[in-house]
Amino acid sequence: MKEVVGSPGTWSGLLLRTGQCAFAGASIGVMVSALGFSNYTAFCYLIASMGLQALWSFGLACLDVYALKTKRDLHNPVLVTATLSFAAACSSAGVAVLFERDVQFCRMYPQFSCSRYELSVVLAFMTWSFVATSSLVMFWLMASL
C-alpha cells in the first residue's frame, strides 16, 4: 500500500493528531479564561466541540504511537469529527463578529474578553484545518483501497 503523508500509523499522522489535540485544548483554555463565555450558546458549543475533538485526537494519537511502536499498518477507515469542529468554529466566529463589528458589544462592555473570544475561534479554525487535512488523507486512503 502506498504511504500517504499524514496517514494513520506514521510520524506525520502522529504530528497531525498532536496538532489537532493541542489546538483544540488551547481553544478550550482561552475560551474558559474569558469572562462571560457561558452566557452564549455558540461559545458553549465551541467548548463542547473542541473537548470532543481533543479527546478524539488524543485517542488517535495514542493509536498512532501504538502502531509506530509495534510497526503495524493502520490503513483502515477512521471516523472524523471535522464537520462538528467546523460548525462550532463557524458559529462562534459569527457571534464574535456580531459582538465586535455589528453591535459594538465589546466597546460598550469592556469587561468582556472579546479578544479572548476571537483568539479561541482562531485556534478552533486551526484545529479544524488539521482535522480537514486528516480527513482528506483518510478519503485518499479509502479511495486507494
105-111 average pLDDT score: 73
Residue 6 lies in a domain: no
Task: Give percent of the chain above pLDDT 90.
Answer: 3
Listed residue (48, 24, 140, 45) closest to 93, CA to CA = 45
Residue 44 lies in a domain: yes
How confident is the model at residue 77, as a pLDDT? 45
Residue 35 lies in a domain: yes
Q: How many CA atoms lie within 13 A of 140 on its CB side?
A: 14
- Under a CB-based contact definition with an 8 Å cutoff, are residues 102 and 47 in contact? no
Parent domain of 33: 11-71+80-144
Residue 5 lies in a domain: no
Give the pLDDT confidence of 93-107 residue by residue, as tens digits: 776 776 666 567 777
How confident is the model at residue 79, as a pLDDT? 42
Residue 3 lies in a domain: no
Residue 2 lies in a domain: no
Residue 4 lies in a domain: no
Domain count, the chain: 1
The CA angle 112-42-36, to the nearest 5 degrees, is 25
| pLDDT band for position 124 (cuts 50, 70, 90) | confident
Between residues 38 and 31, which one has the greater pLDDT?
A: 31
How confident is the model at residue 120, as a pLDDT? 83
Residue 85 lies in a domain: yes
